[in-house]
Structure 1
Amino acid sequence: MLFDTHVHLNAHQFKEDRHEVITRAHDAGVKYMNVVGFDRETIELALEIVNQYENMYASVGWHPVDAIDMTEADLKWIETLSAHPRVVALGEMGLDYHWDKSPKNVQKDVFRQQIQLAKHVNMPIIIHNREATEDVLQILAEENAKEIGGIMHCYSDTTEYVPKILDMNFHISLGGPVTFKNAVNPKEVAKIVPLDRLLIETDAPYLAPHPNRGKRNEPAYVTLVAEKIAQLRGISVKEVAEITTKNAFSLFKINKSKLEME
C-alpha cells in the first residue's frame, strides 16, 4: 500500500474527474494521500476532499509565490485549521526564487511566520524550495525547525545537502523526476537517503513520471516512482511501499492501528 505524500487533487485539472482519479489511485494500490493546500481556495477544497474520502489527509499552508497575499487573518485561520483531525502538516511553505510575484524579503518573513506557527501547534512542515536552497536551510536552522521536522518536498537538489537536511530532522520526498532519463540528482539522492527518512509523492497534476512525462500527473502514478526507487536501490517495490508508508504515518502522527501493512 502506497502513500502519496504530496498531491494537489484540489487543482482545477481534476475538477471534472476527481472521483475517477481517486478510484484509479486506489485500484493501483495507492491507499493513502496527503492533499496539499497553499492558499485560501486550495485549502478549502483540500478539506472538502479529505472530509469526503477515507484515508485522505490534508496539509495547510501558504505558498511562497503567493506570500505577498497572506494576511495576519490567513495565518490565524491556518492555526485554527491545524486542529482538524485530518490535517497532518503545515505547508507547503518555503522560498521560490524562480517567480518574482512575491519579493524575497516577504517570502522569508511569511516562511518564518509559518515555521513559528508549526512549532506552536507541534506539526511537521512541508517545504517548497525552488532555486533557494541555501536560504531555505539557513531559515530552517535559525528558526530551529529541527524541533518539528518535516519534508523536503519533491527534492531535486544535489546529494551535497542531504546530510544537513537529515540532521535538521527532515525527510526527503522524491517524485516523478526520479524517473526522468536526464535527471541525475534525484537518482543519486534516491540511492543514499536512509530508508527511514524516505518518502514518495506525485505532486500531481504536475511532474508526471516517465513514460507519462508532459501529461497530467495523477496519484496512481506514484507506483512508477516506487518502482524506480526500488530499481535504483536493488530492493523490492513492496519494501519501498511498506517503508515509505510507515515513514509517512510516523511523521504525520497518524494512528498506526489504521496502517494495514499486510
Structure 2
Amino acid sequence: MNTASFSLIDSHCHPHFPPLGDDRQAVLTTMREHEVSAALAVATTHMEMEAVRGLAKQYPGIFYAACGVHPLSNDTEDDSEAALVQACGGDVLAVGETGLDFFRGQETEAMQRRRFAAHIAAARKLQKPLIIHTRDSQDAVLDMLRAENARDVGGVLHCFTGDAKQARAGLDINFVVSFSGIVTFKKSIAMRDVARLMPADGYLVETDSPYLAPVPYRGKTNTPAYVRYVAETIATVRGQTLAQTAAETSATFNRIFKKSVD
C-alpha cells in the first residue's frame, strides 16, 4: 500500500512501447518507489489501441487508456470520425494523441488537418477531452481547435514547448498544458518561466516515456516513474512543495479525464 503523503499521475506515456512493454513489473515497481500512482497510456495507431485498453483493464486505477492516430502515423486503417468514435468509446478517457506536426510532416499537411478534424469531431460526439500533439505547429493547432469548436470538450496540449502567449491561448479555449522532461533541461529557461506562470488548475506533468527522460536520466530510457523529476522541477520554479504540485496536477487530471467516463 502506498503510504506517501502525496501521489503523482503521469498524464501521458507509452508503456506498451519497448523496452517498457518488455518488463511491466519493473515499470510498476519503479512507479511505486517514486510515489507515482497512475499513468495515462496513449495509443498512436489503431494497432496500439488494443494494447492500451488491455493495460487499463488489467491494471484498473493504475493505467488508463487514450486512443488516437498520431498526425505522422502511416496507419492505413479507417481514421474517420465514425471509426474514432467506435475506438474511443467505453472506458477510454480521451481522444488522441492527435494534432499537427510540421517539423517532419509539412508535405502531409492536408492529410494531417483532415485527420485532426476527424479526431475533434469524434471527441465532441463522445464528449471526451482531446490530447494534442504539436511540433512547429502551435499556432496552427490553436487555430484549428478554435475553428472546430474543440472548446466544447477541452483537453491537454501535451509535451508543451510553446511560449506564454500560446499557453494562455490554450487556457482560453478550455485546454491545459502538460510539461514533460524537457522542462528539466538546462536550456529550457523559457519553458520553466511558462510553468511558473500557469494557474494551479492549468497544467499537468508527463513523461512521454519511453522518450524525453528528464534530468538526471536524460539520454536514457524514460519510464512513468520519472514524472517525479518533472514535478520536482515544476515545484521548484513555482516556489511550492512537491506535495502541492502533486495535488494540483492530480486534481486537474481528474477534472479533465475522469469526468469523461463517470
Q: What is the deviation of 1:233?
A: 0.6
Unaligned runs of 5+ in 2: 1-6
State whether residues 89 and 126 of structure 1, in contact with CA within 8 Å, keep that contact through their aligned partners in structure 2: yes
Larger displacement relative to structure 2 (99-108 or 31-40): 99-108
State whether residues 68 and 106 of structure 1, in contact with CA within 8 Å, keep that contact through their aligned partners in structure 2: no
Alpha-carbon deviations, 1:43-90, whole Å to 9, x = none?
A: 111111111113121100110001673525x653431232222x1110
Alpha-carbon deviations, 1:219-256, whole Å to 9, x = none?
A: 11011011101100100000000110011011012599
What letter is aligned with 1:157?
Answer: G
Q: 2:173 aligns with which of 168, 173, 179?
A: 168
Alpha-carbon deviations, 1:13-67, whole Å to 9, x = none?
A: 2232122112211221111110000102221111111111131211001100016
**What TM-score does the superposition give when structure 2 sets the normalisation length?**
0.92
**Considering only aligned residues, what root-mean-square deviation do their CA atoms show, in Å?**
1.9
Would you say 1:142 and 2:147 are equivalent positions?
yes
What letter is aligned with 1:69?
Answer: T
Unaligned runs of 5+ in 1: 258-262
Would you say 1:64 and 2:75 are equivalent positions?
no
Partners of 1:137 and 1:124 in 2: CA distance: 15
Partners of 1:31 and 1:46 in 2: CA distance: 17
- The aligned residue for residue 45 of structure 2 is 39
What letter is aligned with 1:71?
Answer: D
State whether residues 68 and 102 of structure 1, in contact with CA within 8 Å, keep that contact through their aligned partners in structure 2: no
- The aligned residue for residue 29 of structure 2 is 23
State whether residues 64 and 102 of structure 1, in contact with CA within 8 Å, keep that contact through their aligned partners in structure 2: no
Partners of 2:103 and 2:25 in 1: CA distance: 33
Would you say 1:4 and 2:4 are equivalent positions?
no
- The aligned residue for residue 76 of structure 1 is 82
What letter is aligned with 1:127?
Answer: I
1:227 match: secondary structure = helix
2:115 match: secondary structure = helix
Partners of 1:134 and 1:232 in 2: CA distance: 26
1:100-139 equivalence runs, <5 A = 100=105, 103-139=108-144
1:186-205 equivalence runs, <5 A = 186-205=191-210
Partners of 2:35 and 2:50 in 1: CA distance: 27
Runs of 4+ residues deviating >6 angstroms: none
What letter is aligned with 2:148?
Answer: E
- The aligned residue for residue 182 of structure 2 is 177
1:253 match: secondary structure = helix
